[in-house]
Structure 1
Amino acid sequence: MQPYEQNQTAYGTGFARTAAQVDQGLRAFMLGVYNNMVLGLA
């Protein structure tokens, strides 16, 4: 059997995103989730 590290595929290699862009996208998504939760409670 081959080690796991040698059997990886290159996911996300075509994207050049910075950590700030990922954090901004995650923040926007989570704000939407929280807003929907608040609307469900109201």
Structure 2
Amino acid sequence: GARLVILNRDPTEMDDTADLVINDEIGATLRQVVPLD
């Protein structure tokens, strides 16, 4: 089955159903994973 990842600054109603939840700023988080040069 599919996996659900939630990347959002604030908690959401769907957090309990997600496989991974990251509560942080999207820009700061993605810069650590994806090079934006």
Task: Please indicate the TM-score interval, normalised by the length of the shorter structure.
Answer: under 0.3
TM-score by length of 2: 0.26
Higher helix share: 1
Identify which of structures 1 and 2 has the higher relative contact order when contacts are C-alpha pairs closer than 8 Å and 6+ apart. Answer: 2
Higher strand share: 2
Q: Look at both structures and tell me which one has the larger radius of gyration over its CA atoms.
A: 1
TM-score by length of 1: 0.25
